[in-house]
Amino acid sequence: MGRTERNIAAIDALYRQHGAALLLFASAISRDRGRAQDAVHQVFLKAIENGSVSRAINKKAYLFACVRNAVHNEAKIQDRTMPLGVETPWFSPPDRDYTGERNLRRALGQLPNDQREVIVLHVWGELTFSEIGALLGLSSNTAASRYRYALAKLRGSMLAKENSCANAR
Amino acid sequence: MQTPDDEQFEAHLKRFDPIAPDPLPTRNLARRSLRPPSLVTWLAAVAAVLVIGSTILHIRSGRTFISDTSSNAALADRPVPSEPLTVRSANAWLTTAPSFETALDDLAFRSQISPLPQGKQSAVAVLGKESFNL
């Protein structure tokens, strides 16, 4: 197997392993599923081209940073006031709980960008607070406290939505 | 510090799997780009074998043709220029030859007719002895 083939195989494995979390992260910060998909593809295509991922020590954190940069670079060109596109599903719900999936999406959409970012990075990206801190230019303590605050808000928002649905029935 | 409630809620959130992205557009391209070299190599190899084979066949048939022509008999009778080939001698040879084709054949094979110094071998003669299996 040649060097290029090995590189493609390694990138492909990373894409299969982290692609879903990266897409969710890109969706959460770009406010648009299509742009998120483009950003993720762009990052992986560049990685195949220049082999930069293979040189990264923490490949997962590096990929999240690349996706974040790609989304922000794209956002500079595009309209930044675009509303969060939460109508396309972001998750495959457990036990066909489509209402729960929609509630989660909407609750995430109600969070401020910086809090949503931390939630996605920690829960689905499985990054540690020090990795998140390095990625966002924060201390790990700040990242952790932002996460706890966001988590409490998300829970409150989801519970309120579930209760209102139960009352409506 | 995370409370047990936080951990429970986190576990609940993790039950929702993020949807996988569409396949990378290069995945097909990469596979396609890996295949052609081998296919192209095979085609090139086959083409090369065919070209070499047809060239050898052509040369062999040409030799047979030359040996079969009556001009070959005439060649034995006609004086062959023994001095080094010059434009002048080639012109002279052309004027005396029965046809242009015969003249060219004669000139081409004159090296076989011209005696070589002792201990030396003609490369054409050595190659002529080689047998090619097609």
pLDDT tens for residues A137-166?
999 999 999 999 999 999 998 888 777 766
Q: Is the separation of the CB atoms in B106 and B93 below 8 Å?
A: yes
The answer to whether the CB atoms of B16 and A24 lie below 8 A apart is no
pLDDT, residue A64, reads: 94
Evaluate the CA torsion angle A83, A84, A89, A95 in order and state its sign: negative
Per-residue pLDDT of chain B (134 residues; tens, 9 = 90+): 566 788 889 999 999 999 988 888 765 555 555 555 567 778 888 888 898 988 888 887 765 544 445 555 555 555 555 666 677 777 877 788 888 777 777 767 665 555 667 777 777 677 777 776 65
A56 touches chain B (CB under 8 A): no
Which token pair is B49? 């074998």
Return the structure tokens found at A35: 């742009």
Interface test with chain A among B5, B6, B15, B16, by most A beta carbons within 10 Å:
B16
B17: three-class secondary structure by DSSP = strand
Question: Complex ipTM above 0.95?
Answer: no
Do B21 and A19 make contact, defined as CB atoms within 8 angstroms?
A: yes
Q: Name the β-bridge partners of A92.
A: B17
Q: Say which of A8, A20, A44 has its CB closest to residue B18.
A: A20
* Paired tokens of B23: 């396949």
Q: What are A98-142's pLDDT values in tens digits?
A: 888 989 998 998 999 999 999 999 999 999 999 999 999 999 999
Residue A62 · residue A56 · CB < 8 Å: yes
- Nearest-angstrom CA–CA distance, A14 and B132: 55
Contact A90 B18 (CB under 8 A): yes
- Chain A CB contacts of B22 under 8 Å are 37, 41
